[in-house]
Chain A
Amino acid sequence: MSVLQIKNRTTDSQEEFDRHSLSSNSYIYTSAEEKNVEEFSIELTLGEGWNDNYSFKNKGLIKIEESITIQRHGSVVVEVKEDIRVPHNRYGIILPTGNTFLSWGIIIVSAKVEPAFFGRLKLRVFNTTNQKVVLHKGTKLGSIIFFPTESTKVHAAKYRDSEISAHLPSKFVELKKWLLSNKLIWIGWMVSFLTSSLAVFALTYVLFDKPAPERKGTHIQALEQVAPTPPVESNGK
């Protein structure tokens, strides 16, 4: 098994790609710039969309204006800029780029790209450092390499792409998102607030409140001072 030579084996023509997608010298379709097509790999760069709260329920992407910020030890999902189409007899693997990791501590998770895939790949990008990292559009995130498959089977096309929203989320949505993603923090705040309130109440009670019987005795004494008890008459016994 050998890594496929990519240089001069790519095309940006859909028609040409389709016509030879079963050939033993099939083309890889890509919209990558020439400088990003290397001898044995295609470089993947930061594209137009991202989501810092990606999940099964939230797969939409938000448009990147200029750059994105990844919090320390945080991760986001981004879409790459390059369109990729894999022929029926090639298998792709996405790998992190050493330089990006060494320089900024940014790493992506390896992933597979199956035959007949087409679309833009989504990658989860991790910030492994203790500082925020800003990534600009076009930043190199990883590379994709291809292997020839042992057999050529016609696979159903697998399309992957995302709707990218141009609208930034409202403050309410951001707050909701923050609350959902930082449950431990706000629950901690709530618990701290309640416990401190209880502590203040308890302290006040202990310091300034007196027991009930003592209060009753004081009240009687006060009444006695206001109205002295009349003398009791003796019957001479």
Chain B
Amino acid sequence: MIVIEKNLEQLASQYKICDNGLIDDYSLKIQLGSYFFEPTASAETIIYGACPDPSLIFSNRKSIGQNLSLAPGKQVITCSKHTYKLPTDYFGLVQTKGTLARLFVSATCNDGQIEPGFDGYITLEMVNHSPWTLEIPVGSDIAQMYLIKCTSPALKAYSGRYAKGAKEGPTIAIYNR
């Protein structure tokens, strides 16, 4: 069951899920935040599951000035401008905003999932698939989150490997060793 309209508006207000200005008819808006990581050119081959040192494959956290500049084929890990706090009986699905998708930019690489009880900034893996360089101003609507009612409340709120980092901004890959 996807929560919409008045149900969504009052649910978001009831649980203080996000800023009231982000509540849309069918979803919660996600706006572009101010920080990003980008992949470093030095890493040539990565074996998935081999636990590479993140500092070797990602840049340090950078600040976006006014616009995020995405050259053709470029990728960044960025995050939402606002924090979101989900109730334990709702699951969030992140989708790219249609207008951005029509420029061949995806806000997530994997149709982001926000687990029940998540609290923090939503990390977005942006990729420019287009032949153009795109300038995206900070605060632009780039994605949206749909809330889905779970069959029962989760026994505990999300406390996965990204839970702590999500409170401070975008999170890069953390590998279990």
Contact = CB atoms under 8 A, between A and B. Distances in A.
Interface string B5-20: 1111111011100000
Contact of B7 (A5, A19, A22): A22
Interface residues of B, number: 16
Interface in A1-58: 5, 19-26
B24 interface: no
Contacts of A21: 10
B87 interface: yes
A23 B90 CA distance: 13
B11 A152 contact: no
Interface of A is mostly: loop
A107 B25 CA distance: 46
B14 A19 contact: yes
Nearest to B15: A25
B87 A25 contact: yes
Contacts of A143: none
A19 B20 CA distance: 14
B9 A24 contact: no
Interface of B: 1, 3, 5-11, 13-15, 87, 89, 149, 152
Interface of A: 5, 19-26, 89, 152
Given A23-B11, A23-B13, A24-B8, 6 more contacts: A19-B13, A20-B13, A23-B7, A24-B1, A24-B7, A24-B11
